[in-house]
Amino acid sequence: MKTIITYVKEFIREQWNPTYFLMVGGLLGMMFFVNYEYGLESSIVRRLSFPTGQTVFYFVFYFVPYVLTHCAYALVKREAGVLRSPQFWLLSLFGFVVLSVYIALHNGPWYILRTQPSLFEGVAREFQPFVARCASNILPFALMVIPLIGYWWKVDRSAMPLYGFSAKTINLQSYFLILFFLIPLIVAVSFTSDFQHAYPRYKFGFPEHLGTTERGGFVGVFQLCYGADFVFVEFFFRGFMVLAFARLLGTRAIIPMVVVYALIHFEKPLLEALSSIVGGLVLGVISSRTKSIYGGVILHLGIAYMMEVAGALHM
């Protein structure tokens, strides 16, 4: 725990600039206000075609704030060299195409169920929403890890293990201790109406009229599929966005990553989205220092499953 705190302190000391942090905070504050006051993301996505319209929207929605964050850094620090680097732009474009397709693919199974229900004919009608929900987590994971692994194999294989898949320099016990201390916070938040509306996630589209044993099996299957989403998120944000960019940006890669990471939480309850800023920063710093995403995977999955349990207890 002390080591993690030291990592964060050193990062803030290294990157601290009041003007830069104020500009980034202002950008996030404006986007949070517009989204949670007017339902920006959900209201637009519902009107767009799948997959082209939604993919383009997500690309712009994530890429523009990311670039603005880098521009703020360049303006404040008077270091614009990175913005003139073709390698930076090509790597950024590649990453955000992967991310925007990944996010849009979550809607794919629902789109198929709605527009081509014949493809679900082999599944009983009662179970079709459940299958679509599981597929909406597994399908994006299975498809979009391929280009990231391909890039690593081509470019970074000789320089590092697959973006953060290493446990050589990390003490994993600390992360289980953090989860233990987070239990009271999750319990307290679970009493809010926003939390109880959103969790447990498995309740949406869950089959009715199941026996106890069957219900437990379906919950288990859903949670495995649900967990795949968090593994990809750590792989992309703390692995690719921090470690693949390290050669170009060093620790400067972390704050832009945090901005985009917060944006992918815009359909979650407000408190959860706000907490993702702190969580994304801490996990980004840990990944940068340890070259491992295992701590982030443990924390992300642990928190997600504790929230599922807390939500289920309120049903």
- pLDDT of 208: 76
Q: Which of 42-56, 109-123, 223-237 has the highest mean pLDDT?
A: 223-237
Q: How much of the chain exceeds pLDDT 70, in percent?
A: 99
Q: Which residues contact 183 (CB under 8 A, 6 or more apart)?
A: 306
- For 185-228, the pLDDT digits (tens) are 999 999 999 889 889 988 887 777 777 678 888 889 999 999 99
Of residues 105, 195, 172, the one with CA closest to residue 145: 105
Q: Is-contact 237 280, C-beta < 8 A? A: yes
pTM value is: 0.91
Q: Does position 148 have pLDDT exceeding 90, yes or no?
A: yes
Instruction: Give how far the C-alpha of residue 124 lies from the chain's centroid of Cα atoms, to the nearest Å.
Output: 32
Domain span including residue 102: 2-313
Percentage helix, strand, coil for the chain under 3-state DSSP, each rounded to 5: 80, 0, 20
- Number of domains, the chain: 1
Q: How much of the chain exceeds pLDDT 90, in percent?
A: 64
Structure-token pair, residue 71: 């521009």
